[in-house]
Amino acid sequence: MRLGLAQSRRAARELIESGRVRVNGRRGRKGEMVAPGDAVEIAPVAETPAIVPAADAGLAVLYEDSDLLIIAKPAPMACYPLRPGETGTVMNAVAARFPETAEAGPKPVEGGLIHRLDNGTSGALMIARNRGAHAMLRAALKNGAIARRYHALVAGTIERPLRIDAPIAHHAKNPRRMVAVHGASPARSAAGAYRSNPRIALTAITPFRRIGGFTLVEAAPATGVRHQIRVHLASAGFPIAGDELYGGPQALWLVPGRFWLHLAELELTAPGGAFVRVSAPYPADLESALSGAA
């Protein structure tokens, strides 16, 4: 039986990230331990709109119909605000041009986002324009009916396709990291390698170009676990260039917080029934990085 004010671990994390959790009057932090007698409070939702329309930031629209937008997300830029009133994210910019997207999903700070891309990742990002489309597309994503093909520049040489099916769990001590769990067992969890309940994760890797000491690969995730591609590639010994959180080599050709990971192609059936295939061109920084890596 679950006790507490959040319906799930993810809901609890979002409450903490929004700044609404207070421990003994101070803002709570992820991973913070509470002791008997500590006062834990949830602040009420602010009246400020969760997604404040902001400057467009020149976001490129890759696809548009009455239900769905696919935009080219730049990096390093967050997908959505972590708290009401925050600006500078993709959803702030999208809401300035398409106001209906701010209320197209059940979570106020996420609006119509169908999926997320890490701040350091660029590429095709799906955003619903109404509640019905959001529900349909979220279900399609969960059921594996939306194909996502990422491109990544990884350290080392990959000569043949890989299938990585290691479950992924939260790191036991670092709340920013996830870990691949090979041969998961209660003993490993008890030893402190990861927190409980690893999630099933499957990624297909296909190499298609050698560039100096790197390999440019396509990564096709069959599941959607946080940091999945980054964790799987690193666990296989091929960390992404610039992804220092997971042991990737420093990439001086990219700004801090950016790594060479890009959602290059989406294939799906739109809520209206049309088959959609969208390609997102490499942004200039990734193109330059390919020259720098050669």
Catalytic residue positions, numbered: 118
Q: Are 84 and 46 in contact (CB under 8 A)?
A: yes
The helix/strand/coil state of 119 is: coil
Closest CA to 195 of 9, 6, 3: 9
**Cα–Cα distance between 40 and 24 in angstroms, integer?**
6
Concatenating the DSSP letter of every residue in 26-58 gives EE--TT----TT--EEEPPPPSS-SS-----TT
Share of the chain residues as helix, strand and coil, in percent rounded to the nearest 5: 20, 25, 50
Closest CA to 214 of 169, 172, 254, 166: 254
CA dist 158 and 75 (Å) reads: 26
- Residue 65 amino acid letter: D
Residue 165, classified by CB atoms within 10 Å of its CB into exposed (0-12), middle (13-18) or buried (19+), is: middle
Between CA 137 and CA 141 the distance in angstroms is 6
Give the DSSP per-residue string, 263-281: EEEEEEE-TTS-EEEEE-P
